[in-house]
Every structure is written in C-alpha cells, then in structure tokens.
Amino acid sequence: MCHPQMRTLIFVAWLLFYVSFLLGMRRMWTGKYVRSPLARALIMNMGSETDSPGSPGSEAQQWYRCSPEMLGEQVRSQFIQSHLDEDTQAFLRRSMEKSGWLFTQLYHSLFSTIFSPIVSRTSINGFLGRGSMFVFSKEQFQRLLRIEPEWKGQRMLDLGAGDGGVTEVMGRHFHEVFATEVSTPMKWHLQRKNYSLLGIDEWHRTGFQYDLISCLNLLDRCDEPLQLLQDIRRSLVPHTGRLVLAAVLPFQPYVETGGAWVRPKEHIKVQGKTWEEQVTHLSTDVFLKVGLEVEAVTRLPYLCEGDMYKDYYMLDDAVFVLKPQE
C-alpha cells in the first residue's frame, strides 16, 4: 500500500507537471511558437495594437457587418445597423484583464479538468463565477425595442438566464423580473440578484403574461424549439408583448443528453449559407409558422469571457425583436 507521504509527493509532482504544461501551452498559443521573450513580447504588443477591439480595420469592426441588399424584401426594412459601443468595449477590456490573471486561470483550468467529466460546463462556470456572457449593451437593447432609457414595463421573463448579466441590461426597464435556469450554481447567482425563479417546465403554466420574454441563444440548444416559440407566443401580453430572440448563425442545433450532444427531437433546418440568407429564412419561414413577425433585427457578437488561452470568445448572433401576428 502506498505511503501517505508518497501519495502527496506524487500529487505535487503531477500538479507541477500540469501547471508547467499549461504555461507551455499558453506560451505557444500567445507567442506563436516564438522562443525569445523579447521577440514574443514585441509580437504580442504588435498584435494588441493591430487587433485591439475598436481600432480601425480591426476584427471587431466585422462583427456588425451586414449587406442589407442580401436580406429578403420583408426583412430589409426591419434591419438596424449596430456598432461597437462603450459597453461592449468595457466588457472586452474586463475579459482581457481577467485572462491575464495567471494563477486564477490556472486554478480555473485545474478545477475544470477535475470536474468536467461529472459537472456541466455551465455549472462549473457558475461555481467559479466566470464565463459571463455579453449579447447587447443598454443602448443597443433600447434601440432594438425603440424605447427611451426611462421607459418601464410591468413584467419580463428571461429564459435560460445564466448568471443574470444580460438579464440586468433588460431588467432595469421592468418592475418584475422572472428567470429560468437549469444550472444550480447559476440559480444561486440569479437569487442573489433578487430575480424570481420559475421552473423550466412551469413558466408557461403560471397564468402570467409578460411584456417581454427573452430567449437568448437558446433555440439551437432546445429539444423542441417550435413548441418553445409557441409557448412564448401564448405567454406574451396580447398586442404589446414582445419576444427578444438571439440565435447563433450558422444555425447548428444540438442538445446535451447525459454528457453527449445529440440532434433535437424537433429539428429546424435553416436554409442559406450567409448570415443574411439564414436571417431571411428564419424571419419569413420559421417564425411566421408559429405566428411571430419580425419587428427589428440586428447583427451582434455573442461574447463570452475567455481563459488563459484566449482573451474572449465570440460567436455570430442575429438578434430579433418579434411580435405576435394579429
């Protein structure tokens, strides 16, 4: 039987190897395999100058680009052009700062490696207080809904609210804020923010009607997306209720079942190769079939805090404002 001191020594040796491996991977990733510390620093500084979010011609300028002439005729007039704004840049700056917290990132990486076989990535992020998402800023949300900063509604519901970061942007405009979430650690974050939690199978059976329901990047991870849209439509306040829906494009639906990713029971096949073509098909085919009509649409980056390998992660979003058909 192994002596306790030997087990401790083996664990410490493994931990040192793991940390060394991660540090080596980080150097390879960020320094593009450059060995000299001075050369690597110069390359990283040059990259930060040319690729800085918000700098002219940077990657960030492409996140909002749309060719309205490629949108269908019914959708073209509803398109709203968005831009990189101060709230988005502030989120990116915070993400880049956190990515540089070496020992915090090492701890996060070790924790994720140990628990990822038995705990979902969302719950791990909830435990660690990391992985915050950014979908839109206060100003972008107000422009989409065509509301003033002081406007107030009665009741809103955020489906799959995560840690409540995006809920906060919308919730300031409502007297009552409800949310659903599967992950227990994320529920703790929502409760600390005093949001009212509803079960994922009960929110549409409470008898409540909502001035706003948000469904952000949930449609492609839902087993019955068309049923979800129908339940949302029935839960909106008649005539004035609105759905804010974000969908990652290209649309690639999968659901997590027992640690495996499988096709959903209801498979929405979105036609088109470009962002504009897929937005048009969603607007004129998928949404209309369930009685929802596009009132506004914009292109935005779906941003997530990064890790020790990358400052932040980005997916391409289409954000819609939908209203029930009369």
275-289 pLDDT tens trace: 999 999 999 999 999
Please give the helix or strand (H or E) that residue 116 lies within, else none. none
Q: Determine the Cα–Cα distance for residues 270 and 265; give it in Å rounded to an integer.
A: 15
Beta bridge partners of 246: 216, 319
As a whole number of angstroms, the distance between CA 153 and CA 241 comes to: 10
The partner residues of 158 in beta bridges, in order of sequence, read 179, 214
Contact 247, 219 (CB under 8 A): yes
CA dist 257 and 128 (Å) reads: 23
User: What pTM was estimated for this model as a whole?
Assistant: 0.78
**Pair of tokens at residue 120:** 């979902």
How far apart are the C-alpha atoms of 144 and 173, rounded to whole Å?
14
Q: Which of 194, 166, 198, 168 lies closest to 182, judged by CA? A: 198
The closest alpha carbon to 97, from 302, 312, 314, belongs to 312
Cβ distance 26 to 309 under 8 Å?
A: yes
Which 3 state secondary structure label does DSSP give 267? coil
Cβ neighbours of residue 316 closer than 8 Å, sequence gap 6 or more: 63, 248, 249, 250, 275, 299, 301, 302
pLDDT at residue 305 in the model: 82
Higher pLDDT, 31 or 84: 84
pLDDT confidence bin for 60, thresholds 50/70/90:
confident
pLDDT at 159: 97
Strand partners, 321: 244, 296
CB 211 within 8 A of CB 174: yes
* Of 255, 252, 210, 243, residue with least CA distance to 319: 243
- Put residue 164 in one of left, alpha, beta given phi > 0 → left and psi -120 to 50 → alpha: left
For residues 210 and 235, the answer to whether their CB atoms sit within 8 Å is yes
Average pLDDT over the chain reads 81
Cα-Cα-Cα-Cα torsion 68, 72, 76, 80, nearest 10 degrees, comes to -70
Q: Assign 120 a pLDDT band (cuts: 50, 70, 90).
A: low
pLDDT at 7: 63
Tell me the mean pLDDT in the region 14-38: 46
What pLDDT score was predicted for residue 40? 34
**Cβ atoms 243, 170 nearer than 8 A:** no
Question: Which residues, including other chains, have CB under 8 Å from residue 20's CB and lie 6 or more apart?
Answer: none
Q: Render pLDDT for 287-321 as a digit per residue (tens, 0 to 9).
A: 999 999 999 999 999 998 877 678 888 999 999 99
Is the separation of the CB atoms in 155 and 173 below 8 Å? no
CA-wise closest residue to 216 among 319, 286, 145, 147:
319
Name, in order, each residue with C-beta under 8 angstroms of 325's C-beta and a sequence gap of 6 or more.
Answer: 288, 291, 292, 293
Beta bridge partners of 293: 323
Using alpha carbons only, give the angle 104, 111, 1 rounded to the nearest 5 degrees: 125
pLDDT (0 to 100) of residue 51: 45
